[in-house]
Chains A and B, each alone.
Chain A
Amino acid sequence: MSPLRILLLVAAAAALVAAAVLPRPAVFAPLALAGLVLFVVGAGSAAADAFPFRPVAFACSLAAMPLGVLLVVRGPDVMPLVVAALATASQVAPILRR
């Protein structure tokens, strides 16, 4: 498991916990931070998974980027929880596939 994947997993898990536990507006700051990490590290991780090309890992890394943006832009109450869960799942999937 690459350090980038660990970072993505930590950020996604933190967002999931924050979305589940914290009320608004206290949840916005951790979600935004996790979103930024998912976006930036997701870009790096996607590049790493491209050479050599690992389709599932690449797709999961790439998915971290839009999910990160969605965490930053907030949305309805339930959205952060769903997005954070998706982000976590997308980072767990390549690990389980090994």
Chain B
Amino acid sequence: MEPGARTYRNLRRALVAMSMLCALLVLGIAAVVFYWKSYLLEPRGDPFTRGPFVTRLTEQTAELRWRVKDDVPVTVRAVGEDGSSADARGGAFSGLTPGTRYAWTAAVDGVTRASGSFRTAPVTADARVTFAVVGDYGSGSDHEYAVGRVLAAQQPDFVLTAGDNSYLFGASWLLDRNIFQPFRAVMRNAPLWATLGDHDLFWRGGDDVESALDLPGEDGRYVVRYGPVAAVLLGHDPDAQEIRSGLRELKRSDAPYEFVVTHRPLQKGNPLLADLRRAGVRAVFSGHLHRYERRMVDGVLNLTVGTSGQGPGDLEFTKRTAGSDVSLLDYGLLRVDIEGGRVRYTYIDERGRVLDRLTT
């Protein structure tokens, strides 16, 4: 064979081999891409940038809010434990059955991307109600996340906050970090009814927090009703007029279990405590002091829950209040159970331990 022909034949063989190698390479790449897409690639991310979270809850209605990427349409449906179903319009459910737990789902592009549940308020006065109280929590810290997990595990019907929902101030760009992410789990299942503390009010008078949480009143002052429970939230440091106005609202609610929430704890000698006692208020919840304290002040049970996330800081400014029956620095939340005419208060720390218990 001539040298030229041999070279041509060898080159041709090399070309054939190269072509087959390339084909093998293409197959290998296709196999890797297929495996990666089928088994390694995670599903598309959560389209919700906030929520959905429950904001309003009555006997027959519930409302959810959310923020979603690109404002894509969201379909929200709920199925009740009684088998009934409901479609939300703009996140609002109506015509629900009282005292019933509804499991809701929120779908984007036909795929359920979020779910949760809520229990509509019962109509009977003797129905069991569980709620939780947190305060001074909005720090975005590990402690707040821990309290948030313990809080979600309690499955409260609603949550009251005693203010300072966001540190150092309640600006809109801090709220996902300080409220919506740490408390995401519980907020899918229960409304967070917040009053405002000094840190919230410092920024735009608390407007950002009010708007984000869709609070039913200004400056964290309003009355909420859930079945046999009514709570008046009075803001940072209510004066006599504000407290009396709140008590009038409570009277109108005619609820058998009445509570007051203020950011600053009421102190002994405050003449308004007598008004609260006469009004039959079961307890006053507050924060501001970064301790958990249980005190009887002028015949009114005062529970300070300023321990839900921010931490005690310098102990020189976090002193035990004189006359307190219990005073703790442990991070935690207060669980309140109402059933059969009794109210049980349980302070649970961030590790799930019960540190204080009282039944009245």
Residues of chain A having any CB pair with chain B under 8 Å? 4, 36, 39-48, 50-51, 65
B27–A44 contact, CB under 8 A?
Answer: no
- The answer to whether B19 touches A46, judged by C-beta atoms less than 8 angstroms apart, is yes
Which bucket holds chain B's interface residue count?
A: 10 to 19
Residues of B within 8 A of A46 (CB): 19
Q: Are B12 and A44 in contact (CB under 8 A)?
A: no
Q: List 5 interface pairs A-B (beta carbons < 8 Å), by A numbering.
A: A40-B27, A43-B20, A43-B22, A43-B23, A47-B18
Chain B, 1-44, contact with A by CB distance < 8 Å: what is the 0/1 string? 00000000000100111111011100100000000000000000
A40 touches B12 (CB 8 A): no
Tell whether, in the assembled complex, residue A48 and residue B23 are in contact, meaning their CB atoms are under 8 Å apart: no
Tell me if B's interface is mostly helix, strand, loop or mixed.
Answer: helix
Q: Which residues of B contact A40 (CB under 8 A)?
A: 20, 23-24, 27
Chain B nearest CB, measured from A38 CB (Å): 10
Contacts of A42 in B (CB 8 A): 23
Most buried by A among B12, B16, B27: B16
Residues of B within 8 A of A50 (CB): 15
CA A50 – CA B16 in complex, angstroms?
Answer: 10
Q: Give the top 9 A-B pairs by smallest Cβ distance, nearest first.
A: A43-B23, A47-B19, A44-B20, A43-B19, A44-B16, A40-B23, A47-B15, A47-B16, A48-B16
Q: How far is the CA of A34 from the CA of B163 in the complex (A)?
A: 70
Closest approach, in angstroms, between the C-beta of B238 and any C-beta of chain A? 71
- Cα distance, A40 to B27, chains bound together (Å): 8
